[in-house]
Structure 1
Amino acid sequence: AKHYHHLFDTFIYGTVLFIFGNYSQSFNWITSVCIFLGLFGFAWIAELPFSKVSLGSLKNWDIRLKIILVVGVLVIVAAAGYHIYLAYNFQIDEEQSLLLPYLLALCCICLFIFLSTIVVYKYQNMSFPNLKRRIIRVGERNRHIIMTRDELEERNHDNTREVINVDDVIFIDMPEVGFHLHHWQIFYYLAFFTRFNDPISQVCAGLVIGIFMHGVSAYGFHDLLEE
């Protein structure tokens, strides 16, 4: 069932990207070749011995990985500048270029996703303690035992103590939600803006789609918010 779920997600994400990313107009052999370069190139980097780390441990990264990160960021910034230039030269009509809508979409969509994620993150983690207190009050009123699942398992494995029936327990496992930005999400988002009939833009399109495909293939469609 999980594989079908991933196939369905791939179809949905791919269809949305193909339609709204203008790939019906800009996709060609250059993009196709660069997809494989992005996919296998990023996979090769990800399999290097010093690159098996997460962004949270950035301070402890190997210097070689930090250099790769800096180079990657510089390439993305340079590509972004070039695409802004392309948007400036792309005329919607005789009086207006694509620049303003392009920049608004680039900034506003990113800002909306980020802020909505922060709101959900704050709400979830602030709600758990209050919910936990309410559960404890209800449990005590009904003479239930209040504990976490780990505490119950530890208690029932202790041969010196009485085994507790699960039906007599109200569990208060309240996992906190954490923010985790995955590379498939970054490059999927960027793929919507490599939409021009320009060789450099088509190269960038292939690379970002390839890296997006690597993230999905290796780790699945993980969410921004995770327990």
Structure 2
Amino acid sequence: MEVDEKATALYSFDPYLFGLFLLAFYIIPYPIYRIIAHRFKWETNPKTMSRHWSDLFDGISYGLLLFIFGNYSNTLSWTTVATFYPSLFGYALIAELPFTRTSLPDIKNWPKGMWFVFLTALAIILVFAGYHIYLGFLLPMPFVIYYVSCLAIPAIILASSFLLSKEVNQNWCRTKIYSWKSRNKNKNATQQAVGEETTLLPVAASGEGAHNPYSRQIAIHLHHWQIFYVLAFFTRFDDPVSQVGAGIVLACYMEGICAYGYDRLVNDG
């Protein structure tokens, strides 16, 4: 029963293990990666000391959420740590291939090599996902329902980001409301004119549109660190395969942070 309670815990926290978690997956790999990347001229964003400092505290904040809701106080193991470091630099080497030096927003222009890497990674993720859902089924109900339903959280965040982009870039809500009011106004005017048996002459457009309060457009850029950060919440089982999966997704997440930092999903255009 005790094992089931730990395995099905929706959240957990241990201060000592959280310190080890930060040490193993952020404090130690971050400077090592930056030094090696500089030595071998890997692609990285130049960072000032203030940016390093900001990334550190972003890392603590994001890491705290991940540790609590990813059940790492019950599943953190040396298997995850041992998988993390080879995966971190393995991912970096793959990212340095000539055909992988692109980004998700440029998907229409991806070369064949990038598509091969992407589809291979997607297949691996789906296999791991299927196995993790199977592990969820082995636990008492309704854990697996909660587990799968949590996928809705990142989906809602992503969808809301695109809706925000549509609203800001197209002034969507006010334009729709303005069009609806204009149609109703013209319809009422037409009905009134017909009722009075008068001739309705074409009315020149006023040239006025819906008020636009937005001075700048925004752009959506989904980064690989965000994808793998989300996946790291689901590798929450005390199972060797899950712990290996945790090491891989944490490594891919941290590669993005070490190389580029906490770039945002929603950006000013």
TM-score range, shorter chain: 0.7 to 0.9
CA distance in structure 2 between the partners assigned to 1:225 and 1:206 by the alignment: 27
Equivalence for 2:239: 198
CA distance in structure 1 between the partners assigned to 2:216 and 2:94 by the alignment: 33
Equivalence for 1:72: 121
CA distance in structure 1 between the partners assigned to 2:252 and 2:125 by the alignment: 13
Structure 2 residue identity aligned to 1:124:
V
Equivalence for 1:126: 170
Equivalence for 1:112: 156
* Alpha-carbon offset, residue 174 of structure 1: 4.1
The runs of 5 or more residues in structure 1 that have no matched partner are 131-172
* Alpha-carbon offset, residue 70 of structure 1: 0.9
Matched, 1:58 2:107: yes
Equivalence for 2:179: none
TM-score by length of 1: 0.74
State the structure with more CA Rg: 2
* Alpha-carbon offset, residue 125 of structure 1: 1.4
Is the Cα–Cα contact under 8 Å of residues 34 and 207 in structure 1 kept in the other structure?
Answer: yes
* Alpha-carbon offset, residue 211 of structure 1: 0.4
DSSP 3-state at the match of 2:150: helix
Matched, 1:13 2:58: no
* Alpha-carbon offset, residue 49 of structure 1: 1.5
* Alpha-carbon offset, residue 66 of structure 1: 1.4
Root-mean-square deviation over aligned CA pairs:
2.0
Equivalence for 2:263: 222
C-alpha spacing 1:118/1:204, structure 2 compared with 1 (3 Å): same
C-alpha spacing 1:57/1:119, structure 2 compared with 1 (3 Å): closer
Is the Cα–Cα contact under 8 Å of residues 89 and 98 in structure 1 kept in the other structure?
Answer: no
* Matched positions, count: 180
Correspondent of 1:103 among 145, 148, 160: 148
* Alpha-carbon offset, residue 71 of structure 1: 0.7
